[in-house]
């Protein structure tokens, strides 16, 4: 097994290592960008540096990645407004076709000679514990690794990044909630290589929930704060799998074939469940806003479906131009009535109030009782929604906790798909449905 593991890792290492040609091209473009930035800084009333950060600066990028992150550290005594306006000036000068995005403060993102470039202003603070803005930390991370990552270890880092990418947990964006590049580098450094990372890391990480990895440049900060328990569990599972059966496929998985509408119908028919979906125009917000809102909205809707007795077996949310909240129900329909428990008879005031409120109810109108069950009054009364679709199509949908932009999007209108109609989703989400219907860790 040992030989096979090493052989697999060696093949992966080669596949993800940038060749000389790629390095030269990157260096050339980075130099050009740096020069353009320096020229723009010369036009400002303050001086500033230009620093290449991220995996391209640390030689840990994966072959084919085309991301360049340039940071512009300004003197820490300038105003926030000045920092932002100078930063944007430089950004637009360097990337004339770029557009502004917003993290903790605005920055310019654009393409340049085929590379995706972020040009981000920050404060040139004395050390990472003195940051004025979250991005001020980033140059310290690059600095930290300058003496710690040699070319051999950089190769190990690349293999680890590819592994985390392959198993779907690479990235600290709020959709993935996985392992950031910096976290990966820290872990591979800490274990001394990819093999120790999967062998020992699998067991070590097992008992830290949530995962805590102290930032060596700022001991107050947990580098793994955004990493979910599920991402850690994925790593554990796939680390065991890789050790037991080393193979390149885990590093470079193939996407499942999209499933067609007919197969979707057949699958839910075979499962005997009732699929329902709420489909709406996806709000025009960045992914780091969109996916947390979709998750929150899905949680709100599925909790309410459960509370109303439609028992959600599994659920998912997907987005492209449309946003979809999808739930697979165990129960398609509830009775016309529901049980409603009143107070114990001996809690006199409440008990009398409850009894009187329902005493004139009539089975013909769907109210049964009040009657006694143990020492409590109970009544059976008409249920608000007998089907999940009835609930989803009603205003009651807006009483659940929804992401703010998702709520606005739903207010502009939405479709409820149920039963065979959900197969329409195969057109846009065939791959997602394929994974849903054959789920793996």
Considering only 10, 47, 116, 230, the residue that binds its own copies (CB under 8 A) is: 230
Site string for its own copies, 243-282 (x = CB under 8 A): ------------------------x--xxxx---------
* β 67-74/115-123 pair status: parallel
Choose which of 348, 384, 404, 408 interacts with its own copies (CB under 8 A): 348
Q: What are phi and psi of 35, to 5 degrees?
A: -65, -45
Distance CA 212, CA 205 (A): 9
For position 336 contacting its own copies by CB under 8 A, the verdict is yes
CA-nearest of 50, 38, 46, 143 to 93 is 38
Single out the residue of 335, 394, 401, 408 in contact with its own copies (rule: CB under 8 A).
Answer: 335
Does residue number 76 form part of the binding site for its own copies (CB under 8 A)? no
**Min. distance of Cβ 364 from its own copies in angstroms?**
8
Shortest gap between Cβ of 186 and its own copies (angstroms)? Answer: 20
Site string for its own copies, 187-226 (x = CB under 8 A): ----------------x-xxx-x-----------------
Among 330, 393, 407, 420, binds its own copies (CB under 8 A): 330
How do beta strands 415-418 and 337-344 pair?
unpaired
**What is the C-alpha separation between 222 and 226, in angstroms, rounded?**
9
| Closest approach of its own copies to the CB of residue 430, in Å | 16
What are 240-245's contacts with CB under 8 Å, separation 24+? Answer: 240/202, 242/5, 242/163, 242/198, 243/1, 243/5, 243/198, 243/199, 243/202
Size of the site for its own copies (CB under 8 A): 55
Rank residues 233 and 431 by Cβ distance to its own copies and give the closer one.
233
Q: Is 174 in the site for its own copies (CB under 8 A)?
A: no
282 close to 409: Cβ distance less than 8 angstroms:
yes
Q: Terminus-to-terminus CA distance in the chain, angstroms?
A: 23
What whole-number distance in Å separates Cα of residue 378 and Cα of residue 405? Answer: 41
Near its own copies in 370-389, by CB under 8 A: 370-377, 380, 386
**What tokens were used for 188?**
């591979």
In the region spanning residues 287 to 316, those forming contacts with its own copies, defined by CB under 8 A, are 309, 311, 313-314
What long-range pairs does 358-363 form, CB within 8 A, spacing at least 24? none
Binds its own copies (CB under 8 A): choice among 15, 66, 109, 240: 240
- Burial pattern 73-98, b for ≥16 Cβ within 10 A else e, equals bbeeeeeeebbeebbbbbbbbbbeeb
Per CB under 8 A, residues contacting its own copies are 203, 205-207, 209, 229-230, 232-234, 236-237, 240, 267, 270-273, 309, 311, 313-314, 330-331, 333-337, 339, 344-346, 348, 352, 355, 363, 366, 368-377, 380, 386, 437-441
């Amino acid at each position: 097994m040992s030989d096979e593991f090493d052989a697999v890792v060696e093949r992966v290492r080669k596949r993800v290592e940038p060749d000389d040609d790629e390095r030269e091209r990157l260096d050339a473009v980075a130099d050009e960008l740096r020069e353009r930035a320096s020229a723009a800084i010369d036009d400002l009333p303050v001086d500033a540096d230009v620093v290449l950060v991220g995996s391209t600066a640390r030689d840990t990028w994966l072959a084919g990645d085309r991301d360049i992150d340039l940071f512009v550290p300004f003197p820490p005594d300038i105003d926030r407004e000045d920092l932002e306006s100078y930063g944007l000036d430089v950004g637009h000068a360097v990337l004339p076709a770029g557009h502004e995005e917003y993290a903790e403060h605005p920055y310019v993102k654009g393409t340049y000679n085929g590379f995706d470039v972020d040009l981000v202003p920050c404060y040139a603070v004395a050390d990472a514990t003195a940051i004025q803005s979250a991005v001020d930390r980033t140059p310290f991370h690059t600095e930290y690794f300058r003496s710690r990552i040699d070319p051999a270890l950089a190769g190990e880092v690349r293999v680890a990044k590819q592994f985390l990418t392959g198993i779907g947990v690479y990235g600290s964006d709020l959709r993935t909630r996985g392992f950031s590049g910096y976290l990966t580098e820290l872990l591979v450094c800490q274990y001394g290589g990819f093999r120790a990372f999967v062998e020992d890391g699998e067991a070590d990480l097992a008992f830290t929930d949530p995962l805590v990895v102290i930032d060596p440049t700022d001991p107050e900060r947990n580098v793994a704060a955004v990493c979910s328990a599920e991402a850690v569990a994925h790593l554990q599972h796939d680390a065991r799998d890789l050790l037991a059966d080393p193979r390149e496929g885990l590093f470079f998985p193939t996407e499942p074939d999209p499933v067609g509408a007919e197969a979707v119908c057949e699958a839910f028919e075979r499962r005997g469940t009732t699929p329902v979906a709420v489909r709406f125009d996806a709000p025009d917000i960045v992914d780091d806003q969109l996916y947390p809102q979709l998750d929150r909205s899905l949680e709100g809707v599925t909790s309410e479906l459960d509370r109303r007795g439609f028992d959600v077996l599994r659920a998912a949310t997907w987005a492209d131009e449309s946003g979809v909240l999808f739930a697979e129900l165990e129960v398609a329909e509830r009775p016309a009535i529901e049980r409603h428990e009143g107070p114990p008879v001996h809690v006199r005031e409440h008990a009398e109030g409850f009894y009187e409120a329902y005493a004139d109810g009539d089975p013909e109108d769907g109210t049964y009782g009040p009657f006694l069950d143990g020492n409590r009054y109970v009544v059976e009364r008409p249920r608000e929604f007998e089907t999940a679709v009835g609930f989803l199509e009603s205003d009651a949908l807006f009483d659940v906790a929804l992401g703010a932009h998702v709520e606005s999007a739903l207010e502009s209108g939405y479709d409820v798909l149920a039963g065979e109609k959900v197969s329409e989703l195969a057109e846009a989400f065939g791959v997602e449905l394929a994974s849903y219907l054959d789920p793996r860790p």
